[in-house]
Structure 1
């Protein structure tokens, strides 16, 4: 009961408090409503004041902005007046002030152009732009004058250029070959002026730079006396003139490539990219295009056998210059076609050289010269062909140049290789032997080397066939054989001591040594074998007949010796070793037989006057062979009185 009473009291207490709280809440709401109504009345009253204040603030801001714009406009309008004196004085007096003033004027002009709708601004812009253009012209003039003066001071001497023409252009040699074309202290000034003129898009500056450097290139060419002839003049040139023209072409190519190193450095130092690269390309493009066109004129000019060497030289110089040219110009898209033309010229020179070699081989086969050496020595055609080959093989990469594009299945420039496979294969085998000569970087078994070997083998075979045809014009078969022996030996000897052996091989060499022996044997058979057979002939058994035969034999022997002495003393074997070998064979075969003949019939009294028939002892015959045969002596029959001195008549 007590607990219920306390609980009832507490509940009543809480109820009272809740009623009080409810009254307080109702009063607060009424108060807030009153305050809200008052605030609304205040807002309504202050709204006009706020609008007027906002408008005043914005107006003040607009006035400030207008004042700033007017001040900026007036300042830019006044820029031309402020900088006019400095600009009219030019860059020579105060370069920094001139360039700063020109920069200010350029910025002012750009600002004023945005307000060109105002009449006053339009007039100011015209004046400012005129002043700006005059200043740019002055800047350009000073730029060109400074560049020209600097170029004159640092121009490379002609003697230096000549001394460096043959130096290969490599990464290691670039520092040696690359010159400062203007004094280094001038470059900052040039770069500042160039930067301003490029920003102003002043194109005459680039044109002036190209013109100045073009004159410098032309002056260098003129100092070295280099001038390329037009195509019409090249077509009419003699072989000597064409050779001189090709040498001038080589020199100009080397000189242009050499100068390009320095020109590229200068262009990159003065002009920002890509302007410098394009100006450099525009500078050298006409010169390289002229060289490419002149090179094509040379390739297409009249064809003479010796021109192959000029073409190989041309190919060598162009191949040496192309890597440097590609490194300098490949980044310029405008130069890619020109580089392609130079590559095509390289291939055309190689093809023309191969074609000329083939034509030379055919000309040797067709050579119809009728004049023969009366002494049976080496024919001028033989000497000329071997000299030609020696010079050709002096070019280490001749095979790769002329036939480097060949494939295994292709015919070469001289015709089908299959007919000459033996010579080429022999050359390959010789190359593979340790210590063999004639090796090359292009590989001993390459199609190019086999093609060149085939061409040389064919040329020498055509030479030999032509010589055989010429030898038939000799009325004496013995000198014809001697003539062929001398010529084939000269070919064999020349090949043996040259790089051609590495191409033709040992088998070819042995065949030609055998041919020399065969022609020597033919000479021996025609000249000496009849005498030897006569001395070896069996005598008749009848004594009276024997005496007559001995008289006839001695008379015939004497006549043969005198005839041989008379004619063959005027013949020659130019090679001392071959001459000695031929004489040894003659003495070995003849003297023993003659001595045996003399001993066999020494006791036969076949005549009352033996000195009339037995004129020559074996030693006398040996003396004739050793001292007189093949010595190119002009001996007539009247000079046979020398027999008393040389031939030792036997009484």
Structure 2
């Protein structure tokens, strides 16, 4: 029975209980006062304006009573002094007018309002020390006794008894309940109570505070000892995911199958002895209730923060500055990003949720303390991880860094749900800001790629009419980049304005193409413009077109059978295929129309036979010279696509061989030449065909 009474008493002494008692009392008191005769004497009958003003006033008073415990931490002593003076002055003024009108007997509403206000102020004194609550409580208790005496003198006994009870409760609130611990410092008992005056200079309070902190230290030491075992266990579970440091590779972003965050989260929580968590919870409950919340939180935060730091260190991730990132070698850059990806996934999917659950258990019943402690525990580690991502976002815009920046961007994207559910306030906003900054970095990398293409246009063209290095680089780059098309599509959704400004021609494709396809198409158009500029260095117009054919054909090959083809669509491939056909026709016209003109037969029938013979001898001589020169020069040229090369040869033979055959037939029919035809004819038809087959036999290696 005694134990039950003690538990009831402890429950009645809880600040939360009295906070709601005070709130309820304020509502009852204000409502009863509004209905009392005193109100009508002082303020007259009710109207809409009075109802509104009184409702607002009542709401403010009730909220002050409900949240006094929270507000007291931000209330200065000077403010408390001014508030006390203001309230007492208003009370004196009210007392003066109240005494003047209180000639008759009070009604029950006046009695209830005084009693309710007394309890309200008793509750306020339990929560804060503003300097006026006790005096006001005495005022309403005195008013209650006086009003009871006006009704009937004997009722003063009831008023005195009620007042005595309120004053005794007030004296109890001036003391604090502290737990006596037993001889085993790791076991916390809370069955017995000792009363100590709340005074920061009290030797008794300081002694008990020291003892409770000692118990906390023992529990924290036990928790630290478990940390190493838990970390080793976690690393063993994640061995497959973390891999071998000597063979770091950029991992797939679908981590769920390997990480199994829920399994590992349960594993870490279950690995901590329940008794350790229970003891920490009891100590937290006692210290927070006794006003030592900061002492407990500081020790707990230091312990758990050290555990997180050790985990990140074991995962191989160390703090890196922006300058260090910018000065890293390519190997170190790639290695650091791989380590960051793994550490971030483990931290946000396992370590931080573990800390959240642990905080909730240790600070059960103190949600605000749990939130603050969790944020402090994880803040430094979170900033360390976010600062690295920020360093990547602010780092080099070299096109070679794109795929590593994409890895960081996609990791941040995948962790957004964890940011929203775990991080609080500024940290959550910082994570989102850095993620958007990474998107800006990716767009900046593509801008740098465009600048590199423009700068390359000033360089000389290839003497072998083969591929430009920039063509191979850009097309391979786009082909690989489009493997991350979903990510890039999201990144470029915010980049419409830039594309329209730089490439106005693509405005008509805005509604039919995605932002990524417009970006890819614009880069290819820029590359094509670069090819046009670079080709002008060739003095031979035929070589000019062979150069354009080769590079456009490479662009088509790299586009086909890849995600780039899906993104750009058939229209783009058809556009460049048509350009190749146009370049081929221009090449054939420039190279072979002169030859065909030579082989045209004279249509002037008035020429003498000897004139005809001389003309044909000169034509054949010119043909042999020009044909030899073309074959000599163009046999060293390259057409890198085998099918295109064969198509060009076939097309040449279809136009040249019939014309040459007609010319030779006519040549042999001329009497002056027929007898000595073999003396002048250098090539037979099969010789012509063989020489054409030898065209474009320069270097033919290419890896599509």
Fold conserved (TM > 0.5)?
Answer: yes
Distance 1:543 1:221, change over 3 A: farther
Match of 1:254 among 329, 345, 354: 345
Distance 1:458 1:598, change over 3 A: same
Matched, 1:198 2:285: yes
Match of 1:175 among 262, 266, 279: 262
Match of 2:690 among 597, 609, 623: 623
Distance 1:288 1:153, change over 3 A: closer
8 Å CA contact 2:635–2:696 kept in 1: the answer is yes
TM-superposed CA distance for 1:319, in Å, is 1.0
- Matched with 2:315 is 224
- Matched with 2:483 is 394
Match of 2:275 among 172, 188, 192: 188
TM-superposed CA distance for 1:127, in Å, is 6.4
Which string of whole-angstrom CA distances, capped at 9 and with x for unpartnered residues, describes residues 448-488 of structure 1?
Answer: x2x43333333222222221121111122211110011112
More displaced stretch, 335-344 vs 532-541: 532-541
Q: How does 1:84-483 map to 2 (within 5 A)?
A: 87=183, 90-91=185-186, 95=187, 99-100=188-189, 103=190, 107-108=193-194, 111-113=195-197, 126=203, 130=207, 132-133=208-209, 135-155=211-231, 156-158=233-235, 160-161=237-238, 163-164=240-241, 166-168=253-255, 174-181=261-268, 183-184=270-271, 186-201=273-288, 203-237=294-328, 242=333, 244-258=335-349, 259-272=351-364, 273-274=366-367, 275-329=369-423, 335-405=424-494, 411-412=497-498, 415=501, 418-424=504-510, 428=512, 449=514, 451-483=515-547
Distance in 1 between residues matched to 2:574 and 2:490, nearest whole Å: 29
Distance in 2 between residues matched to 1:321 and 1:515, nearest whole Å: 45
TM-superposed CA distance for 1:591, in Å, is 1.8
Q: Secondary structure of the residue that 1:615 maps to in structure 2? A: coil
Distance in 2 between residues matched to 1:589 and 1:483, nearest whole Å: 23
- Matched with 1:648 is none
8 Å CA contact 1:372–1:379 kept in 2: the answer is yes
Distance 1:529 1:254, change over 3 A: same
- Matched with 1:560 is 626
Which string of whole-angstrom CA distances, capped at 9 and with x for unpartnered residues, describes residues 125-171 of structure 1?
Answer: 846863x445424422321222122222222443643644744469x
TM-superposed CA distance for 1:598, in Å, is 2.5
Which string of whole-angstrom CA distances, capped at 9 and with x for unpartnered residues, describes residues 434-456 of structure 1?
Answer: xxxxxxxxxxx5xxx2x433333
TM-superposed CA distance for 1:245, in Å, is 4.5
Gap regions ≥5 residues in structure 2: 1-176, 243-252
8 Å CA contact 1:151–1:181 kept in 2: the answer is no
TM-superposed CA distance for 1:380, in Å, is 1.2
TM-superposed CA distance for 1:320, in Å, is 0.6
Matched, 1:584 2:650: yes
8 Å CA contact 1:411–1:417 kept in 2: the answer is no
Distance 1:553 1:400, change over 3 A: same
Q: Secondary structure of the residue that 1:378 maps to in structure 2? A: coil
TM-superposed CA distance for 1:516, in Å, is 0.9
8 Å CA contact 2:667–2:677 kept in 1: the answer is no
Distance 1:312 1:167, change over 3 A: closer
8 Å CA contact 1:296–1:345 kept in 2: the answer is yes
8 Å CA contact 1:481–1:522 kept in 2: the answer is yes
8 Å CA contact 1:424–1:503 kept in 2: the answer is no
Distance in 1 between residues matched to 2:573 and 2:450, nearest whole Å: 20
Which string of whole-angstrom CA distances, capped at 9 and with x for unpartnered residues, describes residues 69-94 of structure 1?
Answer: xxxxxxx99x98xx7xx52x543xxx
Distance in 1 between residues matched to 2:659 and 2:372, nearest whole Å: 90
Which one scores higher on RCO, CA 8 angstroms, separation ≥ 6? Answer: 1
Distance 1:231 1:523, change over 3 A: same
Distance in 1 between residues matched to 2:433 and 2:505, nearest whole Å: 31
TM-superposed CA distance for 1:524, in Å, is 0.6
TM-score scaled by structure 2?
0.64
Q: Secondary structure of the residue that 2:228 maps to in structure 1? A: helix
Distance in 2 between residues matched to 1:602 and 1:373, nearest whole Å: 44
Distance 1:128 1:469, change over 3 A: closer
8 Å CA contact 2:636–2:696 kept in 1: the answer is yes
TM-score scaled by structure 1?
0.68
More displaced stretch, 559-568 vs 605-614: 605-614
Distance 1:576 1:179, change over 3 A: farther
Which string of whole-angstrom CA distances, capped at 9 and with x for unpartnered residues, describes residues 487-533 of structure 1?
Answer: 12222333343444445444443332221111111111121221122
More displaced stretch, 247-256 vs 380-389: 247-256
Distance in 1 between residues matched to 2:530 and 2:550, nearest whole Å: 14
Distance 1:629 1:147, change over 3 A: same
| Cα RMSD after superposing both structures | 3.5
Distance 1:152 1:228, change over 3 A: closer
Which string of whole-angstrom CA distances, capped at 9 and with x for unpartnered residues, describes residues 581-619 of structure 1?
Answer: 112211211122222323332344638765554333222
Q: Secondary structure of the residue that 1:352 maps to in structure 2? A: helix
More displaced stretch, 538-547 vs 236-245: 236-245
Q: Secondary structure of the residue that 2:485 maps to in structure 1? A: coil
8 Å CA contact 2:224–2:307 kept in 1: the answer is no
Distance in 2 between residues matched to 1:539 and 1:403, nearest whole Å: 65
Q: Secondary structure of the residue that 1:528 maps to in structure 2? A: helix
8 Å CA contact 2:601–2:663 kept in 1: the answer is no
Which string of whole-angstrom CA distances, capped at 9 and with x for unpartnered residues, describes residues 103-137 of structure 1?
Answer: 367x22xx2549x9xxxxx9xx846863x445424
Distance in 1 between residues matched to 2:492 and 2:272, nearest whole Å: 52
Distance 1:237 1:612, change over 3 A: farther
TM-superposed CA distance for 1:554, in Å, is 3.1
Distance in 2 between residues matched to 1:424 and 1:493, nearest whole Å: 26
Which string of whole-angstrom CA distances, capped at 9 and with x for unpartnered residues, describes residues 157-198 of structure 1?
Answer: 43643644744469x954234243255471233312431343
8 Å CA contact 1:191–1:271 kept in 2: the answer is no
- Matched with 1:545 is 611
The structure with the largest alpha-carbon Rg is 1
Q: Secondary structure of the residue that 2:498 maps to in structure 1? A: coil
- Matched with 1:513 is 577
